[in-house]
Amino acid sequence: MANRDGARLPGVPDEDGPARIILHVDMDCFYAACERLREPELVGKPVIVGMGYEPGETIGAVATASYEARAFGIESAQAISKALDTLPRIEAVADGEAGGYYRSVDLDFYKSVSAEVKAILRDCADTLREVSIDEAYLDVTERTAWDKTADGSRTLAEGYARYIKQRIEREVGVTASIGVAPNMSAAKVASDFDKPDGLTVVEPGTVREFFAPLSIEAVHGIGPVTARSLRDLGIETAGDLAAADRDDLVDQFGERGRELYERANGRDTRVVEPVGKPKSFSRESAFPPTADVSEHQTTVSRLAEAVAARADREGALYQTIGIKVVTPPFDVHTRARSLPGPVQDPALVESVALSLLTEFEGETARKLGVRVSKLSFAAEDQASLDSWSGATSSEPREKSSQPVSEQSREGQQSLTDF
Protein backbone atom coordinates (compact mmCIF):
# COMPACT_ATOMS: atom_id res chain seq x y z
CA MET A 1 0.00 0.00 0.00
CA ALA A 2 1.03 3.57 -0.57
CA ASN A 3 2.18 4.39 2.94
CA ARG A 4 3.81 1.08 3.83
CA ASP A 5 7.18 2.68 4.45
CA GLY A 6 5.59 5.80 5.95
CA ALA A 7 8.06 8.01 4.13
CA ARG A 8 6.67 8.51 0.68
CA LEU A 9 7.64 11.83 -0.80
CA PRO A 10 4.79 14.12 -1.78
CA GLY A 11 4.41 14.34 -5.52
CA VAL A 12 5.76 10.86 -6.08
CA PRO A 13 3.26 8.79 -8.03
CA ASP A 14 1.43 6.26 -5.89
CA GLU A 15 0.45 2.82 -7.02
CA ASP A 16 -2.63 4.11 -8.84
CA GLY A 17 -0.63 6.51 -10.99
CA PRO A 18 0.62 10.06 -10.51
CA ALA A 19 -0.72 11.79 -7.40
CA ARG A 20 -3.58 14.02 -8.44
CA ILE A 21 -4.61 17.09 -6.48
CA ILE A 22 -8.32 17.05 -5.70
CA LEU A 23 -10.20 19.66 -3.70
CA HIS A 24 -13.61 19.24 -2.15
CA VAL A 25 -15.26 22.54 -1.32
CA ASP A 26 -18.30 22.72 0.98
CA MET A 27 -19.76 26.04 2.05
CA ASP A 28 -20.32 26.63 5.76
CA CYS A 29 -23.96 26.74 6.98
CA PHE A 30 -24.68 27.89 3.48
CA TYR A 31 -28.26 29.21 3.58
CA ALA A 32 -27.58 30.99 6.87
CA ALA A 33 -24.38 32.48 5.42
CA CYS A 34 -26.43 33.81 2.47
CA GLU A 35 -28.94 35.40 4.85
CA ARG A 36 -26.03 37.12 6.59
CA LEU A 37 -24.93 38.63 3.29
CA ARG A 38 -28.05 40.71 3.07
CA GLU A 39 -28.49 41.12 6.82
CA PRO A 40 -24.98 41.61 8.18
CA GLU A 41 -26.42 42.19 11.66
CA LEU A 42 -27.03 38.41 11.76
CA VAL A 43 -23.27 37.73 11.83
CA GLY A 44 -22.36 36.01 15.10
CA LYS A 45 -26.02 35.33 15.93
CA PRO A 46 -27.94 32.03 16.03
CA VAL A 47 -29.64 31.96 12.61
CA ILE A 48 -32.13 29.26 11.65
CA VAL A 49 -33.34 28.94 8.07
CA GLY A 50 -36.62 27.07 7.82
CA MET A 51 -38.02 25.19 4.86
CA GLY A 52 -41.80 25.56 4.67
CA TYR A 53 -41.48 28.06 7.49
CA GLU A 54 -43.41 31.31 7.52
CA PRO A 55 -42.39 34.15 9.82
CA GLY A 56 -44.17 33.86 13.15
CA GLU A 57 -45.43 30.32 12.46
CA THR A 58 -44.23 27.04 13.98
CA ILE A 59 -44.45 24.84 10.88
CA GLY A 60 -41.60 23.64 8.65
CA ALA A 61 -38.20 22.01 9.10
CA VAL A 62 -34.74 23.41 9.71
CA ALA A 63 -32.83 23.59 6.39
CA THR A 64 -29.74 24.79 8.16
CA ALA A 65 -28.64 26.54 11.30
CA SER A 66 -25.66 28.78 11.91
CA TYR A 67 -22.92 27.34 14.09
CA GLU A 68 -24.12 29.60 16.94
CA ALA A 69 -27.56 27.95 16.69
CA ARG A 70 -26.00 24.48 16.41
CA ALA A 71 -24.35 25.11 19.80
CA PHE A 72 -27.89 24.98 21.24
CA GLY A 73 -28.49 21.59 19.59
CA ILE A 74 -30.41 22.86 16.58
CA GLU A 75 -29.64 20.91 13.41
CA SER A 76 -30.77 20.32 9.81
CA ALA A 77 -34.03 18.42 9.30
CA GLN A 78 -35.25 19.14 12.84
CA ALA A 79 -38.85 20.37 13.11
CA ILE A 80 -39.05 24.13 13.46
CA SER A 81 -41.37 23.61 16.42
CA LYS A 82 -38.62 21.70 18.20
CA ALA A 83 -36.05 24.36 17.34
CA LEU A 84 -38.41 27.00 18.71
CA ASP A 85 -38.68 25.06 21.98
CA THR A 86 -34.89 25.11 22.25
CA LEU A 87 -34.39 28.65 21.07
CA PRO A 88 -37.47 30.89 20.88
CA ARG A 89 -37.71 33.64 18.29
CA ILE A 90 -35.60 36.62 19.29
CA GLU A 91 -38.71 38.80 19.02
CA ALA A 92 -40.37 36.70 21.72
CA VAL A 93 -37.68 36.66 24.41
CA ALA A 94 -36.94 39.14 27.13
CA ASP A 95 -33.90 41.39 26.80
CA GLY A 96 -30.67 39.54 27.47
CA GLU A 97 -32.15 36.08 26.94
CA ALA A 98 -31.00 33.78 24.15
CA GLY A 99 -33.20 33.83 21.05
CA GLY A 100 -32.97 32.63 17.48
CA TYR A 101 -33.21 34.60 14.25
CA TYR A 102 -35.60 32.58 12.07
CA ARG A 103 -35.74 33.12 8.32
CA SER A 104 -37.60 31.39 5.44
CA VAL A 105 -35.73 29.62 2.63
CA ASP A 106 -35.17 31.89 -0.40
CA LEU A 107 -33.66 29.49 -2.89
CA ASP A 108 -33.39 31.99 -5.73
CA PHE A 109 -31.13 34.18 -3.66
CA TYR A 110 -29.03 31.23 -2.48
CA LYS A 111 -28.64 30.07 -6.10
CA SER A 112 -27.38 33.48 -7.11
CA VAL A 113 -24.74 33.37 -4.34
CA SER A 114 -23.89 29.80 -5.30
CA ALA A 115 -23.38 30.85 -8.91
CA GLU A 116 -20.84 33.45 -7.79
CA VAL A 117 -18.96 30.85 -5.77
CA LYS A 118 -19.05 28.32 -8.61
CA ALA A 119 -17.72 30.91 -11.06
CA ILE A 120 -14.64 31.32 -8.85
CA LEU A 121 -14.25 27.55 -8.52
CA ARG A 122 -14.57 27.10 -12.28
CA ASP A 123 -11.93 29.72 -12.76
CA CYS A 124 -9.56 27.93 -10.37
CA ALA A 125 -9.99 24.33 -11.58
CA ASP A 126 -8.82 22.17 -14.45
CA THR A 127 -12.15 20.39 -14.09
CA LEU A 128 -15.05 21.11 -11.77
CA ARG A 129 -17.81 18.79 -10.68
CA GLU A 130 -20.71 20.53 -9.03
CA VAL A 131 -22.40 18.25 -6.54
CA SER A 132 -25.01 20.51 -4.97
CA ILE A 133 -25.82 24.15 -4.36
CA ASP A 134 -22.93 24.43 -1.89
CA GLU A 135 -20.54 21.63 -2.78
CA ALA A 136 -18.08 20.82 -5.58
CA TYR A 137 -14.99 18.80 -6.45
CA LEU A 138 -12.09 20.42 -8.27
CA ASP A 139 -9.20 18.74 -9.99
CA VAL A 140 -6.35 21.25 -9.71
CA THR A 141 -3.45 18.96 -10.62
CA GLU A 142 -2.27 21.25 -13.42
CA ARG A 143 -2.63 24.42 -11.34
CA THR A 144 -0.42 23.59 -8.37
CA ALA A 145 1.78 20.84 -6.94
CA TRP A 146 2.32 18.58 -3.94
CA ASP A 147 5.81 20.01 -3.53
CA LYS A 148 6.65 21.91 -0.38
CA THR A 149 7.15 25.65 -0.27
CA ALA A 150 10.72 26.88 -0.01
CA ASP A 151 10.66 26.91 3.81
CA GLY A 152 9.25 23.38 3.82
CA SER A 153 6.33 24.35 6.06
CA ARG A 154 3.46 23.41 3.77
CA THR A 155 2.58 22.16 0.30
CA LEU A 156 1.95 24.44 -2.65
CA ALA A 157 -1.45 22.74 -2.93
CA GLU A 158 -2.35 24.01 0.53
CA GLY A 159 -1.45 27.57 -0.48
CA TYR A 160 -3.59 27.22 -3.59
CA ALA A 161 -6.58 26.01 -1.57
CA ARG A 162 -6.08 28.91 0.85
CA TYR A 163 -6.09 31.30 -2.09
CA ILE A 164 -9.44 29.86 -3.27
CA LYS A 165 -10.89 30.17 0.23
CA GLN A 166 -9.79 33.78 0.40
CA ARG A 167 -11.21 34.60 -3.02
CA ILE A 168 -14.60 33.17 -2.03
CA GLU A 169 -14.61 35.13 1.21
CA ARG A 170 -13.39 38.37 -0.33
CA GLU A 171 -15.42 38.30 -3.54
CA VAL A 172 -18.65 36.71 -2.32
CA GLY A 173 -18.56 37.19 1.45
CA VAL A 174 -19.24 33.62 2.58
CA THR A 175 -16.86 31.02 3.99
CA ALA A 176 -16.00 27.58 2.67
CA SER A 177 -14.30 24.54 4.13
CA ILE A 178 -11.89 22.78 1.80
CA GLY A 179 -10.35 19.34 1.82
CA VAL A 180 -7.22 18.73 -0.28
CA ALA A 181 -6.22 15.16 -1.07
CA PRO A 182 -4.97 12.88 -3.85
CA ASN A 183 -8.45 11.44 -4.39
CA MET A 184 -12.12 12.42 -4.22
CA SER A 185 -13.26 10.41 -1.21
CA ALA A 186 -10.38 11.63 0.97
CA ALA A 187 -10.95 15.24 -0.16
CA LYS A 188 -14.62 14.91 0.76
CA VAL A 189 -13.86 13.64 4.25
CA ALA A 190 -11.13 16.25 4.69
CA SER A 191 -13.47 19.15 3.88
CA ASP A 192 -15.72 18.04 6.74
CA PHE A 193 -12.85 17.51 9.15
CA ASP A 194 -12.44 21.03 10.48
CA LYS A 195 -15.67 22.92 9.76
CA PRO A 196 -16.40 25.82 9.66
CA ASP A 197 -13.79 27.81 7.71
CA GLY A 198 -11.55 24.73 7.65
CA LEU A 199 -8.67 23.68 5.45
CA THR A 200 -7.45 20.12 5.81
CA VAL A 201 -4.69 18.70 3.63
CA VAL A 202 -4.12 14.97 3.25
CA GLU A 203 -0.87 14.44 1.42
CA PRO A 204 -0.30 11.53 -0.96
CA GLY A 205 0.68 8.41 0.93
CA THR A 206 -1.08 9.53 4.12
CA VAL A 207 -4.74 8.91 3.21
CA ARG A 208 -4.97 5.59 5.05
CA GLU A 209 -3.36 7.13 8.11
CA PHE A 210 -5.78 10.07 7.95
CA PHE A 211 -8.80 7.77 7.73
CA ALA A 212 -7.68 5.23 10.35
CA PRO A 213 -8.95 6.87 13.57
CA LEU A 214 -12.21 8.17 12.06
CA SER A 215 -15.48 6.44 12.79
CA ILE A 216 -16.80 4.43 9.85
CA GLU A 217 -19.60 6.95 9.22
CA ALA A 218 -16.92 9.40 8.11
CA VAL A 219 -16.11 7.23 5.07
CA HIS A 220 -18.12 8.68 2.22
CA GLY A 221 -20.89 6.26 1.24
CA ILE A 222 -21.44 4.70 4.67
CA GLY A 223 -24.86 5.56 6.04
CA PRO A 224 -26.41 4.53 9.37
CA VAL A 225 -27.61 1.12 8.09
CA THR A 226 -24.25 0.02 6.67
CA ALA A 227 -22.55 1.43 9.77
CA ARG A 228 -24.68 -0.81 11.98
CA SER A 229 -23.88 -3.91 9.90
CA LEU A 230 -20.17 -3.09 10.00
CA ARG A 231 -20.30 -2.62 13.77
CA ASP A 232 -21.90 -6.06 14.02
CA LEU A 233 -18.71 -7.34 12.39
CA GLY A 234 -16.62 -5.49 14.97
CA ILE A 235 -15.61 -2.76 12.51
CA GLU A 236 -15.79 0.57 14.35
CA THR A 237 -13.26 2.79 12.64
CA ALA A 238 -12.08 3.38 9.10
CA GLY A 239 -8.81 1.79 10.25
CA ASP A 240 -10.69 -1.39 11.19
CA LEU A 241 -12.35 -1.32 7.79
CA ALA A 242 -9.01 -0.93 6.00
CA ALA A 243 -7.61 -3.90 7.95
CA ALA A 244 -10.70 -6.10 7.48
CA ASP A 245 -10.77 -9.10 5.18
CA ARG A 246 -11.72 -7.81 1.78
CA ASP A 247 -13.39 -11.02 0.68
CA ASP A 248 -15.58 -11.04 3.79
CA LEU A 249 -16.70 -7.49 2.97
CA VAL A 250 -17.47 -8.47 -0.62
CA ASP A 251 -19.46 -11.50 0.62
CA GLN A 252 -21.49 -9.31 2.92
CA PHE A 253 -21.90 -6.07 0.91
CA GLY A 254 -21.11 -7.05 -2.68
CA GLU A 255 -19.24 -4.61 -4.93
CA ARG A 256 -19.91 -1.78 -2.47
CA GLY A 257 -17.99 -3.67 0.18
CA ARG A 258 -14.98 -3.75 -2.09
CA GLU A 259 -15.31 -0.06 -2.84
CA LEU A 260 -15.55 0.93 0.83
CA TYR A 261 -12.56 -1.25 1.64
CA GLU A 262 -10.55 0.42 -1.13
CA ARG A 263 -11.51 3.91 0.02
CA ALA A 264 -10.60 3.21 3.63
CA ASN A 265 -7.24 2.09 2.28
CA GLY A 266 -6.80 5.42 0.52
CA ARG A 267 -7.61 4.18 -2.96
CA ASP A 268 -10.23 5.86 -5.11
CA THR A 269 -9.64 6.09 -8.83
CA ARG A 270 -12.71 8.15 -9.72
CA VAL A 271 -11.97 11.11 -11.95
CA VAL A 272 -13.43 14.58 -11.42
CA GLU A 273 -15.76 14.88 -14.36
CA PRO A 274 -17.89 17.91 -15.07
CA VAL A 275 -21.63 17.35 -15.07
CA GLY A 276 -21.98 18.57 -18.63
CA LYS A 277 -20.42 21.47 -20.48
CA PRO A 278 -20.50 24.93 -18.91
CA LYS A 279 -23.37 27.13 -20.04
CA SER A 280 -21.53 30.39 -19.61
CA PHE A 281 -18.27 31.98 -18.54
CA SER A 282 -18.29 35.00 -16.33
CA ARG A 283 -15.98 37.16 -14.27
CA GLU A 284 -16.94 39.65 -11.63
CA SER A 285 -15.16 42.24 -9.60
CA ALA A 286 -16.30 43.88 -6.38
CA PHE A 287 -14.90 47.24 -5.28
CA PRO A 288 -15.71 50.14 -2.97
CA PRO A 289 -18.87 51.77 -4.35
CA THR A 290 -18.09 54.37 -7.00
CA ALA A 291 -19.90 56.27 -9.76
CA ASP A 292 -16.69 56.97 -11.66
CA VAL A 293 -17.45 56.11 -15.29
CA SER A 294 -13.87 55.57 -16.37
CA GLU A 295 -13.25 53.25 -13.43
CA HIS A 296 -16.32 51.25 -14.44
CA GLN A 297 -15.08 51.10 -18.02
CA THR A 298 -11.59 49.99 -17.03
CA THR A 299 -13.05 47.22 -14.88
CA VAL A 300 -15.43 46.04 -17.57
CA SER A 301 -12.65 46.02 -20.18
CA ARG A 302 -10.46 43.95 -17.87
CA LEU A 303 -13.28 41.51 -17.11
CA ALA A 304 -14.19 41.24 -20.80
CA GLU A 305 -10.62 40.36 -21.64
CA ALA A 306 -10.50 37.70 -18.91
CA VAL A 307 -13.81 36.15 -19.93
CA ALA A 308 -12.87 36.07 -23.61
CA ALA A 309 -9.52 34.48 -22.73
CA ARG A 310 -11.29 31.84 -20.67
CA ALA A 311 -13.70 30.99 -23.48
CA ASP A 312 -10.75 30.82 -25.83
CA ARG A 313 -8.91 28.38 -23.53
CA GLU A 314 -12.01 26.21 -23.35
CA GLY A 315 -12.48 26.30 -27.12
CA ALA A 316 -15.92 27.88 -26.68
CA LEU A 317 -17.76 30.17 -29.05
CA TYR A 318 -20.42 32.48 -27.63
CA GLN A 319 -23.47 34.11 -29.03
CA THR A 320 -24.59 36.26 -26.09
CA ILE A 321 -22.52 38.86 -24.28
CA GLY A 322 -23.79 40.32 -21.04
CA ILE A 323 -22.91 42.48 -18.10
CA LYS A 324 -23.96 42.59 -14.49
CA VAL A 325 -24.05 45.77 -12.46
CA VAL A 326 -24.63 45.59 -8.73
CA THR A 327 -25.68 48.85 -7.14
CA PRO A 328 -25.72 49.27 -3.36
CA PRO A 329 -26.96 47.62 -1.33
CA PHE A 330 -27.91 44.46 -3.29
CA ASP A 331 -29.64 45.53 -6.47
CA VAL A 332 -28.56 43.30 -9.28
CA HIS A 333 -29.02 44.45 -12.88
CA THR A 334 -28.13 42.31 -15.84
CA ARG A 335 -28.16 43.26 -19.50
CA ALA A 336 -27.26 41.11 -22.47
CA ARG A 337 -27.08 41.34 -26.21
CA SER A 338 -27.41 38.41 -28.56
CA LEU A 339 -25.42 38.23 -31.75
CA PRO A 340 -26.67 36.67 -34.97
CA GLY A 341 -24.19 33.80 -34.68
CA PRO A 342 -21.55 32.29 -32.36
CA VAL A 343 -18.14 33.94 -32.32
CA GLN A 344 -14.82 33.96 -30.54
CA ASP A 345 -13.83 37.61 -30.61
CA PRO A 346 -12.29 39.30 -27.54
CA ALA A 347 -12.55 42.82 -28.99
CA LEU A 348 -16.26 42.31 -29.56
CA VAL A 349 -16.82 41.09 -25.99
CA GLU A 350 -15.23 44.30 -24.77
CA SER A 351 -17.11 46.64 -27.11
CA VAL A 352 -20.50 45.04 -26.48
CA ALA A 353 -19.92 45.00 -22.70
CA LEU A 354 -18.89 48.67 -22.74
CA SER A 355 -21.87 49.62 -24.83
CA LEU A 356 -24.23 47.82 -22.44
CA LEU A 357 -22.55 49.67 -19.59
CA THR A 358 -23.47 53.11 -20.96
CA GLU A 359 -27.01 52.62 -19.65
CA PHE A 360 -25.61 52.80 -16.12
CA GLU A 361 -23.63 56.03 -16.53
CA GLY A 362 -23.87 58.10 -13.37
CA GLU A 363 -24.96 55.13 -11.24
CA THR A 364 -22.97 54.07 -8.22
CA ALA A 365 -21.84 50.46 -8.59
CA ARG A 366 -20.15 48.15 -6.11
CA LYS A 367 -19.67 45.18 -8.39
CA LEU A 368 -19.41 44.62 -12.13
CA GLY A 369 -19.46 41.42 -14.13
CA VAL A 370 -19.10 40.30 -17.73
CA ARG A 371 -20.53 37.11 -19.10
CA VAL A 372 -20.54 35.24 -22.38
CA SER A 373 -23.20 32.59 -22.86
CA LYS A 374 -25.12 30.56 -25.41
CA LEU A 375 -21.91 28.62 -25.85
CA SER A 376 -20.99 26.18 -28.55
CA PHE A 377 -17.87 24.12 -28.66
CA ALA A 378 -17.40 23.35 -32.36
CA ALA A 379 -15.05 25.75 -34.13
CA GLU A 380 -16.92 25.34 -37.41
CA ASP A 381 -19.98 27.02 -35.86
CA GLN A 382 -18.33 30.41 -36.10
CA ALA A 383 -20.47 32.80 -38.07
CA SER A 384 -18.96 35.01 -40.67
CA LEU A 385 -18.23 38.27 -38.89
CA ASP A 386 -19.03 40.24 -42.01
CA SER A 387 -22.58 39.03 -42.04
CA TRP A 388 -23.61 40.85 -38.91
CA SER A 389 -20.86 43.10 -37.57
CA GLY A 390 -23.11 46.07 -38.28
CA ALA A 391 -25.47 44.84 -35.60
CA THR A 392 -23.01 45.64 -32.86
CA SER A 393 -22.26 49.24 -33.68
CA SER A 394 -21.69 51.72 -30.91
CA GLU A 395 -25.42 52.37 -30.46
CA PRO A 396 -25.94 51.29 -26.84
CA ARG A 397 -29.66 50.73 -26.56
CA GLU A 398 -30.67 49.30 -29.85
CA LYS A 399 -33.44 46.74 -29.97
CA SER A 400 -31.10 43.77 -29.86
CA SER A 401 -30.03 44.89 -26.40
CA GLN A 402 -32.20 42.64 -24.29
CA PRO A 403 -32.66 43.39 -20.67
CA VAL A 404 -32.66 39.85 -19.34
CA SER A 405 -33.82 40.92 -15.95
CA GLU A 406 -34.73 43.79 -13.77
CA GLN A 407 -33.81 44.47 -10.20
CA SER A 408 -33.84 42.53 -6.98
CA ARG A 409 -35.65 39.23 -6.85
CA GLU A 410 -36.02 38.79 -10.57
CA GLY A 411 -32.45 39.88 -11.09
CA GLN A 412 -31.22 37.40 -8.54
CA GLN A 413 -33.04 34.64 -10.29
CA SER A 414 -31.36 35.41 -13.56
CA LEU A 415 -28.05 35.21 -11.78
CA THR A 416 -28.28 31.50 -11.32
CA ASP A 417 -26.39 31.07 -14.53
CA PHE A 418 -24.37 34.26 -14.37
Could you list the residues that contact Mg ion (CB under 5 A)?
Answer: 26-27, 30, 134
Where residue 315 falls (left for φ over 0; alpha for ψ -120 to 50; beta otherwise) is: left
Residue 111 CB, nearest approach to Mg ion (Å): 15
Q: Does 112 bind ligand DCP (CB under 6 A)?
A: no
* Selection from 67, 69, 96, 103 nearest residue 83 by Cα: 69
The tally of CA atoms less than 13 A away on the side-chain side of residue 199 is: 13
**174, 117 contact by CB (below 8 A):** yes
Residue 30 CB, nearest approach to ligand DCP (Å): 4
Residue 23 CB, nearest approach to ligand DCP (Å): 15
Q: Which of 57, 130, 135, 209 is catalytic?
A: 135
- The number of residues in the chain equals 418
**318, 373 contact by CB (below 8 A):** yes
Q: Does 196 bind ligand DCP (CB under 6 A)?
A: yes
Rank residues 26 and 345 by Cβ distance to ligand DCP and give the closer one: 26
Phi, psi of 311 (to 5 degrees): -60, -40
Q: Which of 82, 195, 220, 366 binds ligand DCP (CB under 6 A)?
A: 195
Q: How open is the CA angle 402-406-411, to the nearest 5 degrees?
A: 110
Q: Which residue stretch of 25-33, 40-48, 149-157, 374-382 sits at the interface with ligand DCP (rule: CB under 6 A)?
A: 25-33
Residue 82 CB, nearest approach to ligand DCP (Å): 14
Dihedral sign for Cα 406, 332, 108, 121, please.
Answer: positive
Tell me which H or E stretch contains 412. Answer: helix 408-414
Binding mask 129-158 for ligand DCP (x = CB under 6 A): -----x------------------------
Q: Which of 8, 37, 51, 57 binds ligand DCP (CB under 6 A)?
A: 51
Binding mask 318-347 for ligand DCP (x = CB under 6 A): ------------------------------
Residue 382 CB, nearest approach to ligand DCP (Å): 40
Residue 363 annotated in active site: no
Q: Concatenate the DSSP letters of all residues of 340-382 into one string.
A: EEEE--HHHHHHHHHHHHGGGTT--EEEEEEEEEEEE--GGGP
Binding site for ligand DCP (CB under 6 A): 26-31, 51, 63-64, 76-77, 134, 195-196
Catalytically active residues, by annotation: 135
